[in-house]
């Protein structure tokens, strides 16, 4: 009769349950990897045309992030609970005597699965500069936005766009070329793939 204690540990590990929070995070990352969230807003506006020091750039607004991520959290039974750990507000006065406030915050976000109460925490810094009383709200929005971007590895392009950007065409025969066809890439992939 075989001794139960001699059974491989691998069998015991494979029967253990993966916490629901990790499965949910993976599901959200997999979805976002396919669709991405584009940088669809631009800082270009009439109010900045006279300011030669102002740099134009594209960005994703906090609402863009919320509109995509919040339904995914709900579908995957996750709640996100913020806890502000620290706040620091600096009063700044420019050379014209105009006062603004530079707010720095540190927020811990708890991502909790309502299925099994498993959770992960993420600590994120946020900052904002404001001349009125909105610095804290802006800093909180900044921290939350970048927490989601980092937590779920949100790309700025869809996987279709990424695949297209990884391909190029040979000028002579117009054949498609994908980096995965490269011999060096295949050798590297074999080295790191599970045996």
CA angle 149, 153, 155 (to 5 degrees): 85
- Cβ atoms of 115 and 153 within 8 Å: the answer is no
- Separation CA 127–CA 104 (nearest Å): 4
- Out of 58-62, 116-120, 139-143, 145-149, least confident range: 58-62
Pairwise pLDDT comparison (14 vs 167), residue with the higher score: 167
Q: What is the pLDDT of residue 95?
A: 92
* Mean pLDDT, residues 188-194: 49
Angstrom distances, CA of residue 109 to CA of 44, 83, 84:
33, 6, 9
- Out of 13-17, 26-30, 40-44, least confident range: 13-17
The confidence band for 190, taking pLDDT boundaries of 50, 70 and 90, is low
Please give the mean pLDDT across all residues of the chain: 79
User: What would the pLDDT profile of 68-83 be if each residue is shown by its tens digit?
Assistant: 999 999 999 999 999 9
- Separation CA 164–CA 158 (nearest Å): 10
**Cα torsion at 18, 19, 25, 27 (round to 10°)?**
50
Identify which of 44, 38, 30, 27 has the alpha carbon closest to the alpha carbon of residue 64: 38
Per-residue pLDDT at 194 exceeds 50: no
Q: What is the pLDDT of residue 106?
A: 98
- Separation CA 25–CA 146 (nearest Å): 16
- Separation CA 154–CA 144 (nearest Å): 13
Per-residue pLDDT at 65 exceeds 80: yes
Per-residue pLDDT at 35 exceeds 90: no
Q: What is the pLDDT of residue 6?
A: 42
In the chain, what is the straight-line distance between the N-terminal and C-terminal CA atoms, in Å? 32
DSSP strand E in 31-182: where?
Answer: 41-42, 58-59, 78-93, 99-113, 119-130, 167-169, 176-178
- Identify any residues that bridge with 82 across adjacent strands, giving them in sequence order: 109
Q: What is the pLDDT of residue 159?
A: 62
**All domains in the chain, ordered by first residue:** 17-156 (3.30.390)
Per-residue pLDDT at 107 exceeds 80: yes
Per-residue pLDDT at 45 exceeds 70: no
């Amino acid at each position: 009769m075989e001794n139960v204690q001699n059974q491989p540990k691998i069998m015991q590990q494979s029967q253990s349950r993966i916490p629901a929070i990790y499965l949910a995070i993976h599901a959200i990352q997999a979805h976002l990897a396919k669709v991405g969230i584009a940088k669809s807003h631009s800082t270009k506006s009439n109010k900045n045309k006279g300011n030669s020091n102002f740099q134009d750039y594209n960005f994703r607004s906090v609402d863009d992030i919320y509109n995509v991520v919040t339904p995914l959290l709900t579908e995957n039974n996750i709640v996100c609970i913020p806890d502000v750990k620290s706040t620091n507000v600096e009063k700044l006065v420019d050379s014209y005597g105009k006062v603004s406030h530079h707010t720095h915050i540190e927020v811990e976000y708890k991502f909790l699965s309502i299925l099994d109460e498993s959770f992960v925490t993420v600590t994120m810094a946020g900052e904002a500069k404001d001349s009125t009383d909105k610095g804290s709200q802006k800093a909180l929005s900044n921290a939350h936005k970048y927490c989601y971007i980092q937590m779920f590895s949100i790309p700025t392009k869809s996987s279709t766009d990424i695949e297209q950007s990884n391909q190029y065409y040979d000028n002579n025969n117009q054949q498609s070329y994908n980096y995965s066809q490269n011999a060096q890439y295949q050798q590297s992939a074999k080295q790191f793939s599970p045996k």
